[in-house]
Structure 1
Amino acid sequence: MTPKPSSRSASPSAHPRESRLSMLHLAPESLGFALDCAGQAVGAVRHGAALPAALQSVFVSAPEGNAAAARGAVQDIAYRTMRRLATAEWLIAKLVKKAPPPHVGHVLACALALLIDEANAAYAPFTVVDQAVSAIAARRESAFAKGLVNAVLRNFLREREALLGAAQADEVARWNYPVWWIDAVKKAWPDAWQAVLAAGNTQGPLTLRVNARRSTVDAYLQVLQDHHIPASKAGEYAVKLGTPMPVDRIPGFSDGVVSVQDAGAQLAAQLLDVRDGMRVLDACAAPGGKTGHLLELANLQLVALESDASRARRIGENLQRLKLEAEVRIGDAGAPAKWHDDIDQPFDRILADVPCSASGIVRRHPDIRWLRRASDIPALVAEQRRILDALWPLVKPGGELLYVTCSIFPEEGELQAQWFGNKYQDAVRLDAPGQLLPSAARAPADTSAGSHAGHAAADSAGSNSDHDGFFYARFQKR
């Protein structure tokens, strides 16, 4: 599941021409170049941009040829910084009497994020300090700014243990989430809140979905072994790579033998229990991962619906790689009259993968925590209900609707499922996993209807593997 782009406007952290000039004075393969670029992206996120869009803007503005050389390092630093941003900003406030200029502060945050993550250090400490100063110097910042960066980073290294120990007393600096998010997780999962927050600060594994039309998990694991790529089974169709790698190096990816999809997300197509000839709607379908999985499992009359035309194009691109076909429609899932003119042709199955907070996939999209607001949740709940109200009449009698969110907040999960079941008397709740918490952070046993067999089904499908956070509720129309 990919979160929808942020609707908040983004202000660049520096003028494009200024950024381009500064980059010309830094070797593209240098850490200084990567810190400068990552600092720009962090600044854009702090102004409301989603991190992928912020990074793309930085790469576009880089001198020709430089972006490709630095892309991997810039992305790694930016994502690390998102997971350590509150700690880094707490340290800056502690070590600096007066807030530094915005970009200086953002480069400092990136450098501190690298130094904080000592267990997974990507660079030697002296290299980080030297290159952070170089990044500031390339922008022709004042001698004071260069000295400030140098002093802050060296002071941190000298007082590392004491400073990080003091940061533990500040909940935001310790967990690296906004206060409202921490409070919401505590309330929702009082026995697992620390594990949930900690899981979101890790990097998710690269998990593949094996195309059931082309291979099996066991056969594909043998292919990986032949290529000396460590991997393990993570579900009925899921394989987890021991080490992430670019997709162009993954055997069979370009030919559609495998796709990248989290083990938890792969449960959606399995739970729908599709069979040949069924008429299926994948609502809110972009980028098409679940669309492709459904078509790999059966020959279907499948409509893939997406409200955003640019995102809808990704559905077609994914299906083309898989050599599969679906009818892609542009439209609002909450307003079927504008895209569904087949009143006499209801659907056997509807996948309602609705817009949500994306709080369950925060380890893959760590910027989400800094972009969401507490006020977003009620608005998302209302939008989810609007979509469910619109889609339920499109389910044929005896057909099923699967409600899915990549959220860990009960307002978007179990409370929504209960609301739906209470409102629609012709909706029978069937077995489904309910709430899947990310990674090793597991939800307590749910006593709601259909939950026990659902948890068992999720376990057999790989919920004990390393997966993101999802909620699944399944309903059949009487």
Structure 2
Amino acid sequence: MKKLSSRAVAAQLILQVLDKGQSLSALMVEVQPKLAEKDVPFVQEITFGVCRVLPRLEWIIRLLVAKPLKGKTRLVHCLLLVGLYQILYMRVPTHAAVGEVVKASQELKLQSFKGLINGVLRQFLREQESILAKVDKNWQTNHPEWFVNKLKKAYPNWREIIDANNERPPMWLRVNAQHSTRDDYAVRLGDNFAKSSQDTTACCVPDCAIMLNNPVAVSSLPDFENGFVTVQDGHAQWSAKLLEPQNEELILDACAAPGGKTTHILEQAPQAKVIALDIEKNRLKRVSENLQRLNQTAEIICGDASQPDLWLEKGVMFDRILLDVPCSATGIIRRHPDIKWLRKESDIAELVKLQAKILNAMWQRLKPNGTLLYATCSILPDENSEQIQSFVENTENAKLVEMDFNGEKVTMKQFFPNAQGGDGFFYAKLVKTDSE
């Protein structure tokens, strides 16, 4: 059976995200083996790009197509999205952008829509200036309205957050202190793609973080296979640093997949006994692969953090717990733009309940004087500051501890996505003051 072209695959993936609520990152993992190696970046660019600017493209289609394409014709709509994205955002010759999408319609057994697709895309090319004048008359958020309203309510800088979300994310590396210093590894990277600023106070990242000028394949990173560096966002690298793991301690990395935090804990405390927990069995494979690459050992458990009695022996208590709870992931939209269209407003209240349940369950398994670091990749106060305030108010032996972010000392820290910095993350550090 003949393989589908990259544009046909891209249209199918977009349909699965928009109409079936599937994760684009998960879909890409599934589809990669079916694509030619050279086509993978092309499909990624189109699919992630369409999700990034979806409302703008949808508006153009509404101006050009008389009746909405629904039901079985939704795949035609997705082919138009693919064609428009190429014309507006990619260095693809216009004849190829149009012609190849028309061919893709034949592959997908949509021959009867060839004329429509060709006509719409060619009309856009003829009338592009006037159409874009209408579409771009007002500033567009390219975000769902409910999310914009939440940001407006919470933050005076909500427009900056929206703009940052619409940017492409930088690539960050975490240097393994057991092998190299950040400065030494930066020299090995060379000036061609190493970030020259080594001032961590400027972008508020730990002293193991390096931002690249341009993303590169991990295979081109010096000694990547030997564990010298790990790809991890600069703000995400605070999690293991703030936890301050010590050798010989029993430490839990709850919700551990894909393993970046687990391996960072072991880089700092190689003799610690670490349990990496995650509820999704298929994602734990990544944890195992990351541990193997870094030549580290941790106990991997598939289990529910809200029900520790089902996977942990009675009486076992942890010295430290890194609790990176399930969240809306609204802090990493620039990295996963499909989140904007997968997440619903009603999801937030359910996530807040789940987070509270996990936090209470894990607290019962923390030793007296033990440390729990609460972390999310969300920028919504409901999941972050409000969640922690509620927990501290209702938990007598929970005390917020001051954290030091390169001289900035706070008990709770909300990071926002930043073009010259990391993604949106939240941190709060708690200590159990007594044995109840």
Give the aligned partner of residue 375 of structure 1: 346
Equivalent AA in structure 1 for residue 333 of structure 2: V
Q: Does 1:54 align with 2:27?
A: yes
**Structure 2 Cα separation of the partners of residues 424 and 139 of structure 1:** 57
* 1:256 corresponding residue in structure 2: 227
Deviation at 1:277, TM superposition (A): 2.1
* Aligned residue number for residue 146 of structure 2: 180
Residue 306 to residue 139, structure 1, CA distance change in 2 (3 Å) = closer
Verify the 8 A CA contact 1:432 1:455 in the aligned structure 2: yes
The answer to whether structure 1 residue 402 and structure 2 residue 373 are counterparts is yes
Find the counterpart in structure 1 of residue 183 from structure 2: 218
- Indicate the residue corresponding to 2:409 in structure 1: 453
Which of 62, 69, 85 is matched with 1:93 structurally? 62
Structure 1 length normalisation: TM-score? Answer: 0.82
- C-alpha separation in 2, matches of 1:318 and 1:59: 20
Q: Which residue identity does 1:296 align to in structure 2?
A: E
Determine whether 1:305 maps to 2:257.
Answer: no
The residue aligned with 1:159 is 127
* 2:356 maps to amino acid: R
Instruction: Report whether the alignment pairs 1:240 with 2:211.
Output: yes
Q: Is the 8 A contact 2:413 2:427 kept in 1?
A: no
Letter in 1 for 2:329: A
Please tell me the root mean square deviation across aligned C-alpha atoms, in Å: 2.5
| Matched residue, 2:39 | 70
Question: Partner amino acid for 1:38?
Answer: A
Residues 427 and 465 of structure 1, relative CA distance in 2, 3 Å threshold? farther
Does the 8 Å CA contact 1:263/1:465 hold for their aligned counterparts? no
Alignment of 1:334-349 (within 5 A): 334-341=306-313, 343=315, 345-349=316-320
CA distance in 1, matches of 2:383, 2:228: 34
Aligned partners of 1:433 and 1:458 also within 8 Å: no
8 Å CA contact 1:85, 1:113 repeated in 2: no
CA distance, structure 1, for counterparts of residue 280 and residue 414 of structure 2: 31
> Structure 2 counterpart of 1:347, which letter?
F
1:342–1:209 CA distance, 2 compared to 1 (3 A): farther
Q: State how far apart, in whole Å, the 2-side matches of 1:167 and 1:407 are.
A: 30
Task: Among all aligned residue pairs of Structure 1 and Structure 2, give the percentage whose two residues are the same amino acid.
Answer: 39
Q: Which residue of 1 aligns with 2:173?
A: 208
Structure 1 position 458, deviation (Å): 9.3
Contact 1:38–1:77 (Cα < 8 Å) also in 2: yes
In structure 2, the CA distance between the partners of 1:40 and 1:456, relative to structure 1 (3 Å rule), is closer
Indicate if the aligned counterparts of 2:412 and 2:428 stay in contact, CA closer than 8 A: no
Q: Deviations over 1:145-184 (max 9, x none)?
A: 222222222222333343233224677xx22222211211
Name the CA shift for 1:357/1:291 in 2 (closer, same or farther; >3 Å).
same
Q: Structure 1 residue aligned with 2:322, among 347, 351, 354? A: 351
Residues 138 and 304 (structure 1), Cα distance of their counterparts in 2 relative to 1, 3 Å cut? closer
Moved more, 410-419 or 126-135: 126-135
Alignment partner of 2:215: what SS? coil
8 Å CA contact 2:331–2:378 kept in 1: the answer is yes
Q: 1:5 aligns to what?
A: none
Whole-angstrom CA distance in 2 between matches of 1:288 and 1:22 = 34
Q: Which residue of 2 aligns with 1:281?
A: 252
- How far did 1:21 drift? 4.7
Q: Deviations over 1:394-453 (max 9, x none)?
A: 22222111100100111001101101110112111112489xxxxxxxxxxxxxxxx961
Q: Distance in 1 between matches of 2:103 and 2:291?
A: 45
2:74 to 90, 97, 102: 102
Deviation of 1:348 (Å): 1.7
Distance 1:477-1:463 versus aligned 2 partners, 3 A rule? farther
Match of 1:265, SS state, is: coil
Question: Secondary structure at the residue paired with 1:410?
Answer: coil
Task: Give the Cα separation in 2 of the matches to 1:203 and 1:464.
Answer: 8
Amino acid at match of 2:174: R
Residue identity matched to 1:230: A
From the superposition, tell whether residues 275 and 22 of structure 1 become closer, same or farther in structure 2 (CA, over 3 Å).
closer
Aligned residue among 170, 174, 195 for 1:231: 195
Q: Separation in 2 of the partners of 1:115 and 1:456?
A: 44
What amino acid does structure 2 have at the position aligned with 1:454?
V
Separation in 2 of the partners of 1:169 and 1:463?
Answer: 26
Distance 1:307 1:74, change over 3 A: same
- In structure 2, relative to structure 1, the CA distance for the partners of 1:463 and 1:325 (3 Å cut) is farther
Q: What corresponds to 1:132 in structure 2?
A: 101
The one-letter amino acid of 1:469's match is G
Distance in 1 (CA, whole Å) between partners of 2:130 and 2:106 is 29
TM, length-normalised to structure 2: 0.89
In the other structure, the counterpart of 1:446 is none
Per the alignment, do residues 420 and 161 of structure 1 end up closer, same or farther by CA in structure 2, a change over 3 Å counting?
farther
What stretches of structure 2 of length at least 5 have no aligned partner? none
Distance 1:192 1:219, change over 3 A: same
Cross-structure match for 1:469:
424
Work out whether residues 287 and 311 of structure 1, in 8 Å CA contact, stay in contact via their aligned partners in 2.
yes
Match of 2:161 in 1: 196
